[in-house]
Amino acid sequence: MEIILLIILILGAWFWLDSVAKREIAVNFGQSLANRCQLQLLDETVACTKMSVGRDSRGHAQFQRFYEFEVTANGTERMQCHLQLLGDQLISWHIPPYLQPVN
């Protein structure tokens, strides 16, 4: 019984550490996407909203995570965006169309 509890604890700790690492990857991808679109990522808004199991190109099972985040073009209006990771690979993303601010 103690061994089973220890295994559950170790798996829980691994999952938590893996989730923290994947959130960092999502923040980095979000930052990169926002920079490409000349937007500012509001990085405290990056949150995992859904998780499932998917298969990569080699057929290996991996966690598939969906993250939502917000960006802004002018500092006041926020836009809802999302991205999808399979393992640590970016699978898809969406940033809605917006009007570029006039300088």
pLDDT in tens, 28-81: 999 999 999 989 998 788 999 999 999 988 999 999 999 999 999 887 889 999
How far does CA 5 lie from the centroid of its chain?
30
Domain ranges of the chain: 2-94
The residue written with tokens 């995570």 in the block is: 65
CATH assignment of 2-94?
3.10.450
Residue 100: per-residue pLDDT = 66
Contacts (Cβ under 8 Å, ≥6 apart) of 46: 23, 26, 27, 30, 67, 68, 69
What is d(CA 26, CA 31) in angstroms, rounded to the nearest whole number? 8
pTM of the predicted model as reported, rounded to 2 decimal places: 0.85
